[in-house]
Amino acid sequence: MDRSSPDFIKPMLAESGEAFDSDKHLFEIKWDGIRAMAYVEQGVYRLMSRRGVDVTERYPEFEPLRSLPSGCVLDGEIVVLDADGKPSFRSVLSRAQARTKLRFRHLSQATAADFIAFDLLYLDYNELIRKPLRDRRESMLERIAPKLGEHMAVSDGVIGPGRSFFDESLARDLEGIVAKRLNSRYFPGKRSDAWIKVRKSSSALCAILGFVDKGDDFESLIIATEDDGELHCVGRVGTGFDAALREPLNDLLRDGRCDAPLVPCDEKGTWVMPGLYCVVRYLECTRDGIFREPVFEKLITD
Protein backbone atom coordinates (compact mmCIF):
# COMPACT_ATOMS: atom_id res chain seq x y z
CA MET A 1 0.00 0.00 0.00
CA ASP A 2 1.33 3.43 -0.96
CA ARG A 3 1.57 5.59 2.12
CA SER A 4 2.38 9.29 2.32
CA SER A 5 2.32 12.12 4.84
CA PRO A 6 -0.33 14.88 4.68
CA ASP A 7 0.66 17.83 2.49
CA PHE A 8 -0.24 20.33 5.22
CA ILE A 9 -1.99 20.40 8.59
CA LYS A 10 -3.14 23.72 9.98
CA PRO A 11 -1.69 24.23 13.48
CA MET A 12 -3.98 24.14 16.49
CA LEU A 13 -4.35 27.49 18.27
CA ALA A 14 -4.72 28.41 21.93
CA GLU A 15 -7.15 30.69 23.74
CA SER A 16 -5.87 33.34 26.15
CA GLY A 17 -6.34 33.01 29.88
CA GLU A 18 -4.92 33.38 33.38
CA ALA A 19 -2.50 31.09 35.21
CA PHE A 20 -4.03 28.20 37.19
CA ASP A 21 -3.10 24.91 38.84
CA SER A 22 -4.38 21.58 37.52
CA ASP A 23 -3.33 17.94 37.58
CA LYS A 24 -5.26 17.49 34.32
CA HIS A 25 -3.03 19.87 32.34
CA LEU A 26 0.51 19.91 31.06
CA PHE A 27 2.15 23.32 31.46
CA GLU A 28 4.86 24.18 28.92
CA ILE A 29 6.96 27.26 28.19
CA LYS A 30 5.45 29.46 25.49
CA TRP A 31 8.36 29.74 23.10
CA ASP A 32 8.78 33.18 21.52
CA GLY A 33 9.52 32.07 17.98
CA ILE A 34 7.94 31.02 14.70
CA ARG A 35 5.47 28.14 14.50
CA ALA A 36 6.45 25.32 12.15
CA MET A 37 5.43 21.76 11.25
CA ALA A 38 8.06 19.14 10.38
CA TYR A 39 7.02 16.39 7.92
CA VAL A 40 9.39 13.42 7.53
CA GLU A 41 9.02 10.81 4.80
CA GLN A 42 11.54 8.31 3.41
CA GLY A 43 14.58 10.26 4.51
CA VAL A 44 13.20 13.58 3.26
CA TYR A 45 11.83 16.33 5.49
CA ARG A 46 9.78 19.47 4.99
CA LEU A 47 9.33 22.45 7.32
CA MET A 48 6.05 24.29 6.81
CA SER A 49 5.09 27.61 8.37
CA ARG A 50 1.82 28.29 10.12
CA ARG A 51 0.40 29.61 6.82
CA GLY A 52 1.57 26.67 4.74
CA VAL A 53 4.79 28.17 3.32
CA ASP A 54 7.70 25.76 2.81
CA VAL A 55 10.62 27.16 4.85
CA THR A 56 12.89 24.09 4.73
CA GLU A 57 15.76 25.83 2.92
CA ARG A 58 15.90 28.63 5.48
CA TYR A 59 17.12 26.31 8.26
CA PRO A 60 19.88 23.97 7.06
CA GLU A 61 20.79 23.20 10.68
CA PHE A 62 17.66 21.02 10.90
CA GLU A 63 19.04 18.49 8.41
CA PRO A 64 19.09 15.71 11.09
CA LEU A 65 15.27 15.66 10.90
CA ARG A 66 15.84 13.25 7.99
CA SER A 67 16.70 10.51 10.48
CA LEU A 68 13.33 10.56 12.23
CA PRO A 69 10.85 7.72 11.63
CA SER A 70 9.24 7.91 8.22
CA GLY A 71 5.66 9.10 8.18
CA CYS A 72 5.88 11.41 11.20
CA VAL A 73 4.57 14.96 11.57
CA LEU A 74 5.78 17.19 14.40
CA ASP A 75 4.28 20.45 15.57
CA GLY A 76 6.76 22.87 17.10
CA GLU A 77 8.43 26.26 17.27
CA ILE A 78 11.58 27.61 15.63
CA VAL A 79 13.49 29.76 18.11
CA VAL A 80 16.83 31.55 18.30
CA LEU A 81 18.35 31.72 21.77
CA ASP A 82 20.41 34.69 22.94
CA ALA A 83 23.58 34.55 25.04
CA ASP A 84 21.47 34.08 28.19
CA GLY A 85 19.58 31.15 26.72
CA LYS A 86 16.35 33.10 26.22
CA PRO A 87 14.38 33.09 22.95
CA SER A 88 15.00 36.25 20.91
CA PHE A 89 12.09 37.11 18.64
CA ARG A 90 14.17 39.75 16.85
CA SER A 91 16.81 37.17 15.97
CA VAL A 92 14.37 34.54 14.73
CA LEU A 93 12.60 37.22 12.69
CA SER A 94 15.87 38.09 10.95
CA ARG A 95 16.22 34.39 10.06
CA ALA A 96 12.69 34.34 8.65
CA GLN A 97 13.32 37.43 6.53
CA ALA A 98 16.46 36.09 4.79
CA ARG A 99 16.03 35.65 1.04
CA THR A 100 19.01 33.78 -0.50
CA LYS A 101 20.57 30.33 -0.02
CA LEU A 102 23.92 31.94 0.77
CA ARG A 103 22.24 34.04 3.48
CA PHE A 104 20.42 30.97 4.83
CA ARG A 105 23.73 29.13 5.19
CA HIS A 106 25.53 32.09 6.79
CA LEU A 107 22.79 32.71 9.35
CA SER A 108 22.53 29.02 10.25
CA GLN A 109 26.10 29.32 11.52
CA ALA A 110 26.04 32.87 12.88
CA THR A 111 22.66 32.68 14.66
CA ALA A 112 21.71 29.02 14.72
CA ALA A 113 18.04 28.26 15.34
CA ASP A 114 16.52 25.47 17.43
CA PHE A 115 13.42 23.43 16.66
CA ILE A 116 11.37 22.78 19.81
CA ALA A 117 8.86 19.98 19.17
CA PHE A 118 5.77 19.98 21.37
CA ASP A 119 3.33 17.64 19.62
CA LEU A 120 3.31 14.54 17.43
CA LEU A 121 0.44 14.32 14.93
CA TYR A 122 1.50 11.36 12.76
CA LEU A 123 3.86 8.45 13.42
CA ASP A 124 4.65 5.62 10.97
CA TYR A 125 1.97 7.22 8.73
CA ASN A 126 -0.62 6.59 11.44
CA GLU A 127 -2.76 9.55 12.49
CA LEU A 128 -2.48 10.48 16.16
CA ILE A 129 -4.59 13.65 16.01
CA ARG A 130 -7.62 12.02 17.62
CA LYS A 131 -5.60 10.49 20.43
CA PRO A 132 -5.28 12.37 23.76
CA LEU A 133 -2.27 14.63 24.26
CA ARG A 134 -1.00 12.30 26.99
CA ASP A 135 -0.61 9.46 24.44
CA ARG A 136 0.80 11.68 21.69
CA ARG A 137 3.42 13.03 24.05
CA GLU A 138 4.38 9.56 25.30
CA SER A 139 4.96 8.43 21.70
CA MET A 140 6.99 11.55 21.00
CA LEU A 141 9.24 11.01 24.02
CA GLU A 142 9.74 7.31 23.21
CA ARG A 143 10.18 7.41 19.42
CA ILE A 144 11.22 10.95 18.51
CA ALA A 145 13.24 12.45 21.38
CA PRO A 146 16.09 9.89 21.27
CA LYS A 147 16.65 10.57 17.56
CA LEU A 148 16.72 14.36 17.68
CA GLY A 149 20.04 15.93 16.77
CA GLU A 150 21.76 19.16 17.72
CA HIS A 151 19.50 22.25 17.66
CA MET A 152 16.40 20.10 18.27
CA ALA A 153 14.54 19.12 21.42
CA VAL A 154 11.16 18.07 22.82
CA SER A 155 9.52 20.79 24.90
CA ASP A 156 9.61 20.06 28.61
CA GLY A 157 6.73 20.75 30.98
CA VAL A 158 5.11 20.10 34.36
CA ILE A 159 1.76 18.77 35.50
CA GLY A 160 0.02 20.50 38.40
CA PRO A 161 1.62 23.77 39.59
CA GLY A 162 0.72 26.07 36.71
CA ARG A 163 0.80 29.29 38.75
CA SER A 164 4.31 28.78 40.08
CA PHE A 165 5.46 27.62 36.63
CA PHE A 166 4.12 30.87 35.15
CA ASP A 167 5.79 32.93 37.89
CA GLU A 168 9.06 31.17 37.16
CA SER A 169 8.73 31.94 33.44
CA LEU A 170 8.28 35.64 34.28
CA ALA A 171 11.31 35.56 36.60
CA ARG A 172 13.33 34.19 33.67
CA ASP A 173 11.94 36.96 31.41
CA LEU A 174 10.18 34.47 29.12
CA GLU A 175 6.96 35.12 27.20
CA GLY A 176 4.74 32.93 29.36
CA ILE A 177 3.30 29.40 29.37
CA VAL A 178 0.73 27.23 27.60
CA ALA A 179 -1.63 24.96 29.56
CA LYS A 180 -2.68 21.86 27.59
CA ARG A 181 -5.40 19.49 28.72
CA LEU A 182 -3.89 16.00 28.88
CA ASN A 183 -6.99 14.18 27.62
CA SER A 184 -7.59 16.52 24.66
CA ARG A 185 -7.25 15.65 20.98
CA TYR A 186 -5.57 17.96 18.46
CA PHE A 187 -7.87 20.39 16.62
CA PRO A 188 -6.15 21.45 13.33
CA GLY A 189 -6.67 25.11 12.50
CA LYS A 190 -9.00 25.72 15.44
CA ARG A 191 -8.65 27.81 18.58
CA SER A 192 -9.65 25.72 21.58
CA ASP A 193 -9.73 26.03 25.36
CA ALA A 194 -7.94 22.68 25.42
CA TRP A 195 -4.86 24.88 25.03
CA ILE A 196 -4.67 28.10 27.07
CA LYS A 197 -1.83 30.57 26.61
CA VAL A 198 -0.86 32.70 29.62
CA ARG A 199 1.49 35.53 28.70
CA LYS A 200 3.27 38.39 30.34
CA SER A 201 2.19 41.79 29.10
CA SER A 202 2.46 45.50 29.79
CA SER A 203 -0.15 48.24 29.55
CA ALA A 204 0.28 51.83 28.47
CA LEU A 205 -1.85 54.96 28.31
CA CYS A 206 -1.91 55.97 24.64
CA ALA A 207 -3.06 59.03 22.74
CA ILE A 208 -5.21 58.23 19.72
CA LEU A 209 -3.61 59.99 16.75
CA GLY A 210 -6.00 58.70 14.13
CA PHE A 211 -7.57 55.63 12.60
CA VAL A 212 -7.52 53.43 9.53
CA ASP A 213 -10.90 53.81 7.87
CA LYS A 214 -12.69 50.96 6.10
CA GLY A 215 -15.86 52.85 5.16
CA ASP A 216 -18.56 52.53 7.78
CA ASP A 217 -16.20 51.40 10.54
CA PHE A 218 -12.59 51.80 11.64
CA GLU A 219 -10.13 48.98 11.05
CA SER A 220 -7.58 50.03 13.68
CA LEU A 221 -6.45 52.96 15.78
CA ILE A 222 -3.14 54.72 15.27
CA ILE A 223 -1.66 55.35 18.70
CA ALA A 224 1.21 57.10 20.47
CA THR A 225 2.60 56.97 23.97
CA GLU A 226 5.06 58.95 26.07
CA ASP A 227 8.74 58.03 26.09
CA ASP A 228 11.38 60.18 27.81
CA GLY A 229 8.95 63.07 28.04
CA GLU A 230 7.95 63.01 24.37
CA LEU A 231 5.03 61.48 22.50
CA HIS A 232 5.97 58.84 19.91
CA CYS A 233 3.83 56.80 17.54
CA VAL A 234 3.85 53.12 18.55
CA GLY A 235 1.86 51.71 15.63
CA ARG A 236 -1.72 50.52 15.35
CA VAL A 237 -4.10 48.50 17.50
CA GLY A 238 -6.91 46.58 15.80
CA THR A 239 -8.12 44.03 18.35
CA GLY A 240 -9.92 44.14 21.69
CA PHE A 241 -12.92 46.26 20.66
CA ASP A 242 -16.37 44.97 21.60
CA ALA A 243 -19.47 45.68 19.52
CA ALA A 244 -20.94 48.07 22.11
CA LEU A 245 -17.90 50.36 21.91
CA ARG A 246 -17.52 50.54 18.15
CA GLU A 247 -20.51 52.82 17.41
CA PRO A 248 -19.70 55.58 19.96
CA LEU A 249 -15.98 55.33 19.19
CA ASN A 250 -16.68 55.71 15.47
CA ASP A 251 -18.68 58.85 16.22
CA LEU A 252 -15.86 60.33 18.32
CA LEU A 253 -13.27 59.55 15.67
CA ARG A 254 -15.24 61.03 12.79
CA ASP A 255 -16.37 64.11 14.70
CA GLY A 256 -12.76 64.84 15.67
CA ARG A 257 -11.11 64.56 12.25
CA CYS A 258 -8.29 66.96 11.45
CA ASP A 259 -5.63 67.46 8.77
CA ALA A 260 -2.46 66.24 10.48
CA PRO A 261 -1.38 63.97 13.36
CA LEU A 262 -0.45 65.40 16.74
CA VAL A 263 3.10 64.04 16.34
CA PRO A 264 5.06 62.84 13.28
CA CYS A 265 3.93 59.38 12.22
CA ASP A 266 4.84 56.95 9.44
CA GLU A 267 1.42 55.30 9.54
CA LYS A 268 -1.21 56.18 6.92
CA GLY A 269 -4.66 57.06 8.15
CA THR A 270 -7.27 59.66 9.05
CA TRP A 271 -6.12 61.95 11.86
CA VAL A 272 -8.08 63.18 14.88
CA MET A 273 -7.74 66.15 17.22
CA PRO A 274 -6.11 65.67 20.65
CA GLY A 275 -8.35 64.55 23.50
CA LEU A 276 -8.95 60.84 22.87
CA TYR A 277 -6.92 58.33 24.87
CA CYS A 278 -6.96 54.60 25.45
CA VAL A 279 -5.20 51.92 27.46
CA VAL A 280 -3.44 49.31 25.35
CA ARG A 281 -1.94 46.02 26.48
CA TYR A 282 1.08 44.78 24.52
CA LEU A 283 3.67 42.04 24.65
CA GLU A 284 6.79 44.16 24.15
CA CYS A 285 8.13 47.20 22.32
CA THR A 286 10.22 46.40 19.23
CA ARG A 287 13.59 47.94 18.47
CA ASP A 288 11.77 50.42 16.20
CA GLY A 289 9.52 51.53 19.06
CA ILE A 290 6.39 49.73 17.85
CA PHE A 291 4.06 47.80 20.17
CA ARG A 292 4.09 44.07 19.46
CA GLU A 293 0.72 42.26 19.65
CA PRO A 294 -1.23 45.25 21.01
CA VAL A 295 -4.76 44.76 22.37
CA PHE A 296 -7.19 47.61 23.13
CA GLU A 297 -8.34 47.57 26.77
CA LYS A 298 -10.43 50.69 27.39
CA LEU A 299 -11.26 54.17 26.08
CA ILE A 300 -10.48 57.34 28.01
CA THR A 301 -11.82 60.73 26.89
CA ASP A 302 -10.29 64.02 28.03
Active site residues: 30
Reduced DSSP (H G I as helix, E B as strand, rest coil) percent helix, strand, coil of the chain, to 5: 20, 40, 35
Q: How many residues does the chain have?
A: 302
DSSP-assigned states of every residue in 131-142: S-HHHHHHHIII
Are the beta carbons of 166 and 178 closer than 8 angstroms?
Answer: no
DSSP 87: B
Separation CA 237–CA 222 (nearest Å): 7
* Helix or strand holding residue 93 (H, E): helix 89-96
Separation CA 212–CA 144 (nearest Å): 47
Residue 293 — left, alpha, or beta (φ > 0 → left; ψ -120 to 50 → alpha)? left
At CB < 8 A and 24+ separation, what contacts does 108-113 make? 108/59, 108/60, 108/61, 111/80, 112/61, 112/80, 112/151, 113/59, 113/61, 113/62, 113/78, 113/79, 113/80, 113/151
| Residue of 267, 271, 237 whose CA lies nearest to 254 | 271
Separation CA 39–CA 74 (nearest Å): 7
Separation CA 49–CA 56 (nearest Å): 9
